[in-house]
Amino acid sequence: MTETVILSDVLDLNAAEPLKADLLALRGHPVVLDASAVQRLGGLCLQILLSARKTWAADGVNLSLGSVSQYWTEQWAAYGAPDFNTEGALA
């Protein structure tokens, strides 16, 4: 069964530890991230998400991005991060 993680509207330093804990608790399970409420994406949370993507890929489990906000799209691109749902993008 695929789990859904609804990302906080502000993914800053304060959100980093809870985000990491939420993701680690779901390791080994397929997960869809819902970024539809995200208004701000900080660098530390970006690193956590990129690390999770690599971890899930190494485990052979799907971690994908579902709905996203315009803010998410703009800020993700501003960091120059690879497309989250492209297989092998983070290899």
Q: What's the pLDDT at 89?
A: 44
User: Among 70, 78, 84, 19, which residue's Cα sits nearest to residue 45?
Assistant: 19
Beta bridge partners of 3: 31
Q: What's the pLDDT at 28?
A: 96
Task: Give the chain's residues under pLDDT 70.
Answer: 86-91
Q: What's the pLDDT at 83?
A: 82
The whole-angstrom separation of Cα 25 and Cα 32 is 14
* Burial readout 71-87 (b: 16 or more C-beta within 10 A, e: otherwise): ebeebbeeeebeebeee
Look at the pTM and tell me if it is higher than 0.85: yes
Q: What's the pLDDT at 91?
A: 40
Residues for the chain: how many in total? 91
Q: What's the pLDDT at 85?
A: 75
